[in-house]
Chains A and B, each alone.
Chain A
Amino acid sequence: MTDRSAETQWTAVVEHHVRRFADQHGATYRRTSRQASALFEIGCFVELVDFYRVGGVAVTLRNKHDNGFRFLTSPAGNPQNYSYVELGARGERFDIRQQVRVESHIHSDIRFTPDIIVVPSDANIGERRDADYAHGKKRLFFVRSEDVVAAHECKSLSPFPELIVGFVGMVIAAHRWLSAPTDRSRIAAGGMHLAPTLFVGGTGSAIHRRMLEAMQASFPINIVSGLHHEPNPLRNRGRSLARMK
């Protein structure tokens, strides 16, 4: 068989398999890009909840609806209308919420919406109207960074340097407890909470993985990559994960 005919045959085999795959599974993977992002955020959220459960923390689902747990995957919704997870341990209670805006201690006009935050259960979710937001017709829901235990971000991408280093900016603006960017004083091996974490879908090359290690050694953060394909990524990392008291 010539090289050309071998290539042609290989390509034909691939096409055959791919057509069958698309025919069999097209309805399952037919999702918009917005839905794909939402699915990834859900995956990260469930992974985080699993982290707490495995750590022995009591997990309670709150504000469930008739059809089950209602995830909030856009900043536009009123958090009170969506489900969330309550954590309980050592006499303390915390909530895991999605898409709640954080008003930074650095300046009150610095507001942004991490994909997931962990706050004390008694943290106030404020609301206000602002003429510069939706012409004042919609309410802005937010928590203050003073109340943020950890803010987590989800990116269904391959890790690249600018994405990774940009996460530090969010960590600085979202966490009042951080006295300096490299302040690791809250990191504790037996800590209940996961340190601020960037969840990334892809894996990246060897040099990017070195950067991830360096970032995690230098800042009070985790960068968990490979969520597209790795089963139990947080469980797999075990003791190497940065936890906080």
Chain B
Amino acid sequence: MPSIVDILVRPLDRESANIVRTHAEAMKRDVRFIADNKRDAMAPALEAGWSVERLEIICDLAAFFQDVLGPIGAATRHGASGGMEGCGSIYAGSITVDAAYVRQARRMLTDFVGLASKLDIPRRWLSTATGRDLVYYAGRRTND
């Protein structure tokens, strides 16, 4: 069965997909290390209902969010014209950021955050830098 990250990266080119997979795997290694070697540190997350398997899935979602969706969110936050009214469509090399793309991107980002919310995953966890931090946050059940 494909992993969550495999499903998400399927539309991407190989290089981009590997970046996300590598990032996710690094986070998951952190989680597994803590689970195998630091049971006391893992215990709060387990008690809060976050199993190792669930945390690994969150690693997949977080790596995908940071590597793929985050940059798109940064570029489309202000809209196609944002602080530059009247500029119309925008090129950046081979990419166009126009009003239509901004609408699609915003819908996409809303859906992804909504997906996480349905799974009771706080938005802030999607920006977690390491698996260690994720285990910590999951145990505190806090956005900090």
Report which A residues bind B (CB closer than 8 A). Answer: 7, 10-11, 13-15, 17-19, 21-22, 24-44, 46-47, 49-53, 59, 61, 64-65, 67-71, 73-74, 83, 85, 156, 158-160, 201-206, 208, 226-229, 231-232
CB-CB under 8 A for A38 and B74, given A18-B115, A204-B129: no
Q: Is the CB of B7 within 8 A of A7?
A: no
Given A15-B4, A30-B11, A40-B75, 5 extra CB contacts under 8 A: A13-B119, A25-B108, A61-B87, A202-B127, A229-B127
In the complex, what distance in Å separates the CA atom of A47 from the CA atom of B53?
A: 38
Asked if B141 lies at the interface with its beta carbon under 8 angstroms from chain A, I say no
Q: Is the CB of B51 within 8 A of A7?
A: yes
Minimum CB–CB distance from B32 to chain A (whole Å) comes to 16
In the complex, what distance in Å separates the CA atom of A201 from the CA atom of B61?
A: 16
In the complex, what distance in Å separates the CA atom of A26 from the CA atom of B104?
A: 11
Residues of A within 8 A of B104 (CB): 25, 28
Residues of A within 8 A of B108 (CB): 24-25, 28-29
Asked if B19 lies at the interface with its beta carbon under 8 angstroms from chain A, I say yes
Q: Is the CB of B92 within 8 A of A228?
A: no
28 A-B pairs whose Cβ atoms sit less than 8 Å apart in the complex: A7-B54, A14-B57, A15-B4, A21-B8, A25-B112, A28-B108, A30-B11, A31-B16, A31-B68, A33-B19, A35-B94, A36-B68, A38-B93, A39-B72, A39-B95, A46-B84, A51-B83, A61-B86, A65-B91, A68-B89, A68-B91, A70-B90, A156-B67, A158-B66, A158-B129, A160-B129, A204-B129, A227-B74
Q: Is the CB of B129 within 8 A of A208?
A: yes
Residues of A within 8 A of B19 (CB): 33
Minimum CB–CB distance from A25 to chain B (whole Å) comes to 4
Q: Is the CB of B82 within 8 A of A50?
A: yes
Minimum CB–CB distance from A209 to chain B (whole Å) comes to 10
Q: Is the CB of B83 within 8 A of A229?
A: no
Report which B residues bind A (CB closer than 8 A). Answer: 1, 4, 7-8, 10-13, 15-16, 19, 51, 53-54, 57, 61, 65-78, 82-84, 86-98, 101, 104-105, 107-108, 111-112, 115, 118-119, 123-124, 126-127, 129-130, 133, 144
In the complex, what distance in Å separates the CA atom of A36 from the CA atom of B92?
A: 10
Q: Is the CB of A68 within 8 A of B87?
A: yes
In the complex, what distance in Å separates the CA atom of A52 from the CA atom of B118?
A: 38
Q: Is the CB of A18 within 8 A of B74?
A: no
- Closest 7 pairs between A and B when the two form their complex, measured CB to CB: A228-B70, A43-B74, A26-B11, A50-B83, A68-B88, A158-B129, A49-B83
In the complex, what distance in Å separates the CA atom of A204 from the CA atom of B82?
A: 27
Q: Is the CB of A71 within 8 A of B82?
A: no
In the complex, what distance in Å separates the CA atom of A61 from the CA atom of B53?
A: 50
Residues of A within 8 A of B11 (CB): 22, 26-27, 29-30
Candidates B4, B88, B111, B112; contact of A14 at CB < 8 Å: B4
Q: Is the CB of B82 within 8 A of A49?
A: yes
